[in-house]
Structure 1
Amino acid sequence: MFKRSKFLTTLLALGALTLSACGASNASSDSEGTSSSAGTKWDKCDMRKGAKDVSSEQADAKKDITIGAFNGWDESFATAHLLKAIFEKDGYTVNIKAFEAAPGYTGVAQGDIDFLTDGWLPVTHASYIKKYGDKLEDLGCWYNKGKNTIAVNEDSPAQTIGDLKKMGDKYDNKLIGIEPGAGLTKMTKEKAIPEYGLDNLEYTTSSTPAMLAAIKKSQADGTNIAVTLWRPHWAYAAFPMRDLEDPKGAMGGDEFIHTFARKGFQDDFPKASQIVKNLVLNDEQLAELENVMFGDDNFAGKDNDAAVAQWLNENPEFADQLTSGKL
């Protein structure tokens, strides 16, 4: 799933990089979804569908809301804390609980969590929707450009993934990956490398923080780098990176990020659920919000609520546009 008309000059310290291990699971692992689709209904995303102005409505009678967020998925915590800030201004009490994806979906299906904001479809979380879909309420998609990528520094020569076959020496003949068990790693090994003939590259896998540290070092050294990455990710805001074109579609198509709630949530929280339905974030907004939350020159993942408060102060129109359904 993204970003960036603005490239920030911040070089992030390794401590912040460690907090950002989104890639460990943002591209689906074998235990998540690797089927072609959860169903045709998930193959499209209309982010404006169901938007409605509730700015003049009273807060719901019930006030306690629990939001689930996925460990290591930065956009999950960014959106959870963003909605928390909006809700708390209206008198709600919000608790954010961190989970791996599987127990997160289980918690919503069982009614222990009110909603989660990080449902990736039509592929990544297809298996969860197949298993729990009849116990969930879809509150709509808020992002429509999620995808797995191979990315390079902006000023390097390669334009397509295939260019790495003949330009490998420009990138030290290496492709830097993330966790060995991540779906992104599997896709790169089984699809991208064979389809583009990239056997000339040494494909290294270790961890998302190590991949991000390699980007940071290459930027400091002024050298080229090729990495496996995904959108949305704040690396696009922190570093001048760009995606290589993928004419063969080896890295998969676009994914859409949905919010899924427990059964009955919309009846119990009509205003709060409508605010969630109104949520839309573009590349620049999400990248900047995540960078404020996780960038070392900012909050470095140490105070997500304060980070969101700063971002909302810098984007004073956002809250009103959200509640009025005008994002």
Structure 2
Amino acid sequence: MLKQPLSRHIRFASLALIAGAGLTAGAAQAQDKGNVHLAYVEWSSEVASTNVVRAVLEQAGYEVEMTSLSAAAMWQSLATGDADAIVAAWLPTTHADYLERVGDDVEDLGVNLDGTKLGLVVPAYTDVDSIAELNDNAETFNNEIIGIDPGAGLMGLTEEVVETYDLDLNLRSGSGATMTASLANAIQNEEDVVVTGWTPHWKFARWDLKYLEDPENVYGGAEQIHTVVRQGLEEDMPEAYAILDAFEWTPEQMGEVMLMNQEDDADPYENAKQWVEDNQDVVEEWLSAAE
């Protein structure tokens, strides 16, 4: 099992003292289940899902830590055992290279969300309908494609798109937040813009958008989001492993949480706890796997 840092031992010791001072035996037993470390990428979909899983594991009695990383660092942390699990693996295309590199050190528990899509996205009012038409309209898009963080698999695929279609547009890296900000600004001014996009994402609920056709099929077909854990988690924390293995929801359910997270002063963790409280019938199906 992973060695815990000294600060964590001190924290557990403090909890034990509190238990001796009057904490109920049931609560103390719940705390004794240990700590689960979840890694994720700072995409709105993964912020939603990882916080929901955190809330569910906490309901089951675990302490949970979350760490936001680049996609490459997220997979590496899982392979080295610094993280216990991710619910943010986009397969079989986006994260294929990462899985190939660390496959012997992780365990793929399968799909937690079906019905994803990747591609280039424009406002619905844009006259362009295909990636193949971008060069003829490059100036309309300010000769650029607005991307996300440079380490994302989606950016690697988009680089392939630029090469395959011999595009004269520059792929500009940034983050999910800067991408949606550029999209919002363009739509507010009724201007054309092309961004890297994926489904599920809250932007499709907020604005009328469309994917550009990809006749060369560089982005591939629909993808799925998988749960992947470090080797040895099942032996170390079998109940947490069972809950993670059972976790599965729909794009519509994820969309509910993502929209909650777009409200002013939204707290993704508090929103996740609220969604878990409001959907106990779904949550109980995940928790019952550990019984």
TM-score (norm 1): 0.66
Structure 2 Cα separation of the partners of residues 167 and 102 of structure 1: 34
Matches within 5 A, 1:155-234: 155-165=125-135, 171-172=140-141, 174-178=143-147, 181-182=150-151, 183-189=153-159, 191-193=160-162, 195-196=164-165, 198-199=167-168, 202-203=169-170, 205-208=172-175, 209-234=177-202
Structure 1 Cα separation of the partners of residues 108 and 164 of structure 2: 36
Specify the SS of the correspondent of 1:162. Answer: helix
Structure 1 Cα separation of the partners of residues 31 and 237 of structure 2: 8
1:116 aligns with 2:86: yes
Structure 2 Cα separation of the partners of residues 286 and 162 of structure 1: 32
In proportion to residue count, which structure has more helix? 2
Q: 2:94, 2:157 within 8 Å by CA — same for their partners in 1?
A: no
**Which of 180, 197, 204 pairs up with 1:236?**
204
Q: 2:107, 2:231 within 8 Å by CA — same for their partners in 1?
A: yes
- C-alpha displacement of 1:141: 1.8
Amino acid at match of 2:146: G
CA separation of 1:129 and 1:167: change in aligned 2, threshold 3 A: closer
CA separation of 1:304 and 1:194: change in aligned 2, threshold 3 A: closer
Specify every segment of 5 or more residues in structure 1 that has no aligned partner in the other structure, as ranges: 1-58
- C-alpha displacement of 1:246: 1.6
Matches within 5 A, 1:23-172: 63-165=33-135, 171-172=140-141
Structure 1 Cα separation of the partners of residues 114 and 202 of structure 2: 16
Q: 1:291, 1:298 within 8 Å by CA — same for their partners in 2?
A: no
Specify every segment of 5 or more residues in structure 2 that has no aligned partner in the other structure, as ranges: 1-28
- C-alpha displacement of 1:197: 5.8
CA separation of 1:259 and 1:204: change in aligned 2, threshold 3 A: closer
- C-alpha displacement of 1:173: 5.5
Structure 2 Cα separation of the partners of residues 112 and 173 of structure 1: 42
CA separation of 1:115 and 1:185: change in aligned 2, threshold 3 A: closer
Structure 2 Cα separation of the partners of residues 156 and 315 of structure 1: 38
Q: 2:93, 2:220 within 8 Å by CA — same for their partners in 1?
A: no
- C-alpha displacement of 1:167: 5.6
Structure 1 Cα separation of the partners of residues 285 and 38 of structure 2: 24
CA separation of 1:110 and 1:205: change in aligned 2, threshold 3 A: closer
Q: 1:65, 1:94 within 8 Å by CA — same for their partners in 2?
A: yes
Matches within 5 A, 1:241-280: 241-280=209-248
Per-residue CA deviations over 1:53-85 (Å, capped at 9, x if unaligned) read: xxxxxx989612323223423333322221121
CA separation of 1:106 and 1:192: change in aligned 2, threshold 3 A: closer
Amino acid at match of 2:211: D
Q: Which has more radius of gyration? A: 2
1:310 aligns with 2:274: yes
- C-alpha displacement of 1:261: 1.6
Identity of aligned residues (%): 29
What is the number of equivalent residue pairs in this alignment? Answer: 259
Amino acid at match of 1:139: L
- C-alpha displacement of 1:96: 2.0
Per-residue CA deviations over 1:165-184 (Å, capped at 9, x if unaligned) read: 55667x45644322584554
Tell me how large the CA RMSD over aligned residues is: 3.2
Per-residue CA deviations over 1:174-217 (Å, capped at 9, x if unaligned) read: 4432258455445434x434544644xx4351423333222111
Structure 2 Cα separation of the partners of residues 215 and 249 of structure 1: 24
CA separation of 1:82 and 1:198: change in aligned 2, threshold 3 A: same
Amino acid at match of 1:177: I
Q: Give the structure, 1 or 2, with the largest relative contact order (CA under 8 Å, sep 6 or more).
A: 1
CA separation of 1:76 and 1:187: change in aligned 2, threshold 3 A: closer
Q: 2:116, 2:199 within 8 Å by CA — same for their partners in 1?
A: yes
Q: 1:67, 1:80 within 8 Å by CA — same for their partners in 2?
A: no
Structure 1 Cα separation of the partners of residues 76 and 154 of structure 2: 24
Per-residue CA deviations over 1:228-265 (Å, capped at 9, x if unaligned) read: 22234332233322212222202334433222222232
Specify the SS of the correspondent of 1:113. Answer: coil
Specify the SS of the correspondent of 2:114. Answer: strand
Amino acid at match of 1:261: V
Structure 1 Cα separation of the partners of residues 95 and 257 of structure 2: 24
